[in-house]
């Protein structure tokens, strides 16, 4: 089998690592992994470059770019995103947050203090001791709206439970369902009477349970009455933002909607105790200080390396200010459309900082839905403005942290039609992380739309499958086909020709291409197109399966270097498998577990038995044992090289053995599709064979057709059985005593 070459546009994937803790409002921010930007910048530009982030949605991107010696300018139009950005890069210290919480707790309220006042809103009774306690949360059904369960921990008798509500709990919750003074105040601060957005503000408020609205507006009003130093007031704002986020009905129960995108209450949701949410917020905002210089953008001030300058406004206004210090490159995380976050941001901004501050994003209240065509237009507008600040040929790097097909389409169309030429692509499909590289080319000649769109996309999808050597997902083929159009600069002319229907037109062409059973076949049972796996109807010229190539690459790394961390291994694999061939995390880990062990320092080390010289000895031993066993069972034994042999009768093969040290079965798959084939391999490979079969339906079907997988240790046991007979061989091959079982394919 040949291994096709990757395309010139393919670039290595820069892996990072998931962070163990989440920051404030993290469910609305792009899930960019730690270290991705830092690793990417090792090969993008140089220290001292001025980079521009036109969207300002990722504090991590700005922090890692500055730490890598770049001067970063960030346009941050959303006041909430800007606040999170500033106080992630220059975080509060723990005493500031604790002091802010204490000031809130001690604020006077109705002859008492604010803390017990808010806790009393959630009072219930302990079923063990009968005393009054403040519930941690209530669980609600949305239709019809009513609480069903309560959760609490009794400070008097230490009883903790989640149990059905009592009648008193229901009656108390209903006392806050009306639209009283607090509701009017909450609405007034966003859209006063006569404001055309008032009905939209009411719709946004509806996502909060009545008791939560009452508690939150009580806090906001109390804050307006308090005289606080600037930083302490900012710390209170931070705690309130987390409470605003925690107290709405977007939190599904028991799980789900961890990244909500539509402002619709979950069918079953959690109503949190607002004071408890404030207490938890202290930990959310007490984050490590990255020790970076963060300042307000000043066009007259020099941009120093390692500095982050934040502009409080949209990209369209920043462009004119960048003339004296134009950026060398764009470095950004593209935002994903999020009606829930953008609408709530308008609400929260008005509550905390007033209607004037919220005005730039107030229009978010009106829009109930953002489709991908709308988003392509929005990206086109903002990135088109950013292009005005760049010189021709300047690079732009755009990370996409949730690269579902629609998002990738919007990004490719939006940037190609706003003055950029695609120069690089990489995508890890399992984690939906993508990186697209561009070159500013605002005055490039506009090519004419090419004909034969369906045929072109079919050809590219087929090429992508041959390159992969195994079935590919809808997302993989989609990325290959759409980015090909971007590479050939066909998206901009199609945008002009189709009058905003570009995404629909290309999407239909792609679906028509995949539906052609003369070119592609479905190899799974999924009914939904976007969850399907596809293979070639005629697979001539396909490369070695990606899974086998990745396994061999991992083994080579482990044998040539002593002690490698997961991220380092992923980075090296990214160099070998760039573009759209980035191995999934699960595949890499399955390969590592098969060959190596992770030590206390989180470094992978090859097992002694998987050293090359030891496996060479094992192969010779297996060949010897199989020859002896075949002769003892009175078969004619016909060795073929150092790793293969057959047991024959009257010239016909009865058993064909292939001795492997890896789980790479692809050559046997093609060469022995109809023979009574048995793979003999180390026990550590069995789980990897099972993993590969789960990801490739063709391999799974072949293994289930009668192919046997036998471990080295089982062959040794059979060789030791003095009374083994021909008629019992198949039965004995299928046995593996429980004390030797590990996750693997059944021995058939």
HSE-CB at 234 with a 13 A cutoff on CA atoms is 17
| Mean per-residue pLDDT over the chain, rounded | 91
pLDDT of residue 738: 32
pLDDT of residue 22: 77
How far is Cα 3 from Cα 576, in angstroms, rounded to an integer?
13
Reported as a single tens digit per residue, the pLDDT across 287-329 is 999 999 999 999 999 999 999 999 999 999 999 999 888 999 9
Least confident among 39-48, 151-160, 255-264, 309-318: 255-264
pLDDT of residue 735: 64
Kindly state the average pLDDT of the residues 609-620: 96
Task: Give the angle subtended at the CA of 745 by the CAs of 741 and 747, to the nearest 5°.
Answer: 75
pLDDT of residue 182: 84
pLDDT of residue 109: 92
pLDDT of residue 743: 38
For residue 153, the cross-strand partners are: 160
Task: Identify which of 133-142, 367-376, 497-506 has the greatest average pLDDT.
Answer: 133-142
pLDDT at 540 over 90: no
DSSP 274-307: HHHHHHHHHHHH-------EEEE--TTS---TTE
Could you tell me the CA-to-CA distances from 432 to 340, 428, 460, 578 in Å, in that order? Answer: 21, 6, 21, 15
Tell me the pLDDT band of 74, cut-offs 50, 70 and 90.
Answer: very high
Q: What is the dihedral of CA 131, 137, 138, 142, to 10 degrees?
A: 170
Kind plus residue range of the DSSP H or E element containing 493: helix 491-498
DSSP 71-117: EEEEE--SHHHHHHHHHHHSPPPHHHHHHHHHHHHHSEETTEEHHHH
pLDDT of residue 257: 63
- Across 361-432, where does the E strand assignment appear? 395-400, 420-428
- Helices 585-595/566-576 angle, 10° precision: 110
Dmax over CA atoms of the chain, in Å, equals: 102
> With pLDDT > 90 as the criterion, what percentage of the chain qualifies?
78
HSE-CB at 229 with a 13 A cutoff on CA atoms is 7
CB-based burial of residue 657 (10 Å sphere; 0-12 exposed, 13-18 middle, 19+ buried)? buried
The answer to whether the CB of 540 falls within 8 A of the CB of 575 is: no
First to last CA, the chain: 28
pLDDT of residue 671: 59
Q: Which residues contact 208 (CB under 8 A, 6 or more apart)?
A: 216, 247, 248, 249
DSSP 10: B
How far is Cα 310 from Cα 318, in angstroms, rounded to an integer?
10
Reported as a single tens digit per residue, the pLDDT across 655-670 is 899 999 999 998 766 6
pLDDT at 167 over 80: yes
Residue (of 82, 100, 52) closest to 357 by Cα position: 82
pTM: 0.93
Residue (of 64, 66, 62) closest to 76 by Cα position: 62
Reported as a single tens digit per residue, the pLDDT across 469-491 is 999 999 999 999 999 999 998 89
Kind plus residue range of the DSSP H or E element containing 186: helix 181-188
Reported as a single tens digit per residue, the pLDDT across 107-120 is 999 889 999 999 99
- Helices 79-89/59-67 angle, 10° precision: 40
How far is Cα 273 from Cα 257, in angstroms, rounded to an integer?
20
What pairing do the DSSP bridges indicate for beta strands 112-113 and 433-440? unpaired
- Is 251 strand, coil or helix? coil
pLDDT of residue 277: 97
């Amino acid at each position: 089998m040949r291994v096709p070459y990757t395309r010139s546009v393919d670039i290595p994937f820069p892996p990072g690592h998931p962070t163990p803790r989440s920051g404030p409002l993290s469910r609305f921010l792009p899930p960019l992994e730690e270290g991705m930007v830092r690793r990417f910048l090792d090969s993008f530009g140089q220290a001292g470059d001025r980079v521009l982030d036109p969207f300002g949605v990722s504090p991590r991107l700005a922090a890692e770019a500055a730490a890598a010696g770049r001067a970063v300018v960030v346009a941050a139009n959303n006041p909430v995103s800007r606040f999170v950005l500033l106080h992630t890069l220059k975080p509060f210290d723990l005493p500031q947050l604790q002091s802010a919480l204490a000031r809130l707790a001690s604020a006077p309220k109705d002859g008492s203090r604010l803390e017990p006042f808010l806790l009393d809103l959630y009072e219930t009774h302990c079923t063990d001791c009968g005393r009054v306690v403040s519930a941690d949360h209530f669980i609600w059904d949305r239709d019809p709206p009513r609480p069903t369960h309560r959760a609490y921990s009794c400070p008097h008798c230490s009883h903790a439970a989640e149990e059905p509500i009592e009648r008193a709990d229901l009656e108390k919750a209903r006392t806050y369902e009306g639209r009283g003074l607090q509701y009017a105040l909450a609405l007034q601060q966003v859209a006063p009477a006569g404001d055309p957005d008032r009905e939209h503000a009411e719709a946004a408020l509806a996502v909060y349970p009545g008791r939560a609205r009452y508690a939150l507006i009580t806090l906001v009003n109390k804050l307006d009455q308090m005289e606080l130093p600037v930083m302490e007031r900012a710390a209170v704002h931070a705690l309130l933002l987390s409470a605003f986020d925690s107290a709405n009905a977007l939190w599904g129960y028991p799980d789900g909607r961890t990244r909500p995108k539509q402002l619709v209450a979950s069918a079953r949701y959690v109503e949190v105790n607002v004071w408890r949410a404030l207490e938890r917020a202290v930990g959310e905002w007490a984050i490590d200080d990255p020790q970076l210089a963060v300042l307000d953008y000043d066009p007259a001030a020099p941009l120093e390396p390692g500095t982050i300058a934040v502009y409080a406004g949209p990209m369209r206004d920043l462009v004119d200010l960048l003339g004296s210090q134009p950026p060398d490159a764009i470095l950004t995380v593209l935002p994903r459309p999020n009606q829930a976050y953008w609408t709530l941001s308008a609400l929260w901004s008005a509550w905390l900082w007033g209607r004037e501050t919220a005005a730039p994003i107030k229009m978010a209240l009106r829009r109930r839905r953002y489709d991908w065509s709308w988003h392509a237009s929005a990206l086109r507008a903002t990135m088109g403005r950013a292009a005005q600040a760049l010189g021709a040929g300047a690079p732009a790097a755009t990370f996409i942290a949730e690269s579902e097909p629609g998002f990738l389409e919007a990004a490719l169309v939006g940037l190609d039609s706003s003055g950029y030429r695609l120069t690089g692509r990489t995508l890890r499909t399992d984690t939906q992380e993508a990186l697209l590289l561009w070159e500013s080319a605002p005055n490039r000649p506009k090519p004419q739309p090419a004909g034969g769109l369906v045929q072109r996309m079919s050809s590219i999808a087929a090429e992508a499958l041959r390159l992969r050597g195994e079935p590919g997902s809808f997302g993989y083929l989609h990325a290959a086909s759409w980015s090909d159009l971007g590479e050939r600069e066909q998206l901009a002319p199609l945008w002009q020709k189709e009058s905003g229907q570009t995404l629909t037109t290309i999407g239909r062409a792609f679906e028509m291409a995949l539906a052609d059973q003369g070119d592609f076949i479905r190899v799974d049972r999924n009914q939904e197109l976007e969850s399907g796996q596809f293979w070639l109807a005629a697979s001539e010229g396909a490369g070695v399966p990606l899974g086998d190539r990745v396994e061999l690459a991992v083994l080579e790394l482990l044998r040539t270097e002593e002690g490698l961390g997961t991220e380092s291994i992923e980075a090296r694999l990214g160099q070998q498998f760039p573009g759209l061939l980035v191995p999934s995390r699960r595949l890499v880990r399955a390969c590592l577990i098969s060959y190596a062990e992770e030590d206390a320092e989180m470094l992978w080390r090859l097992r002694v038995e998987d050293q090359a010289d030891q496996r060479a000895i094992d192969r010779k031993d297996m060949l010897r044992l199989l020859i002896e066993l075949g002769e003892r069972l009175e078969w004619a034994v016909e060795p073929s090289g150092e790793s293969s042999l057959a047991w024959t009768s009257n010239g016909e093969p009865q058993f064909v053995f292939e001795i492997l040290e890896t789980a790479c079965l692809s050559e046997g798959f093609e060469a022995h599709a109809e023979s009574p084939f048995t793979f003999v391999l180390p026990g550590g490979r069995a789980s990897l064979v099972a993993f590969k079969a789960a990801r490739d339906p063709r391999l799974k079907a072949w293994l289930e057709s009668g192919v046997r997988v036998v471990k080295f240790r089982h062959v040794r046991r059979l060789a030791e059985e003095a009374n083994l007979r021909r008629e019992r061989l198949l039965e004995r091959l299928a046995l593996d005593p429980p004390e030797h079982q590990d996750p693997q394919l059944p021995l058939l």
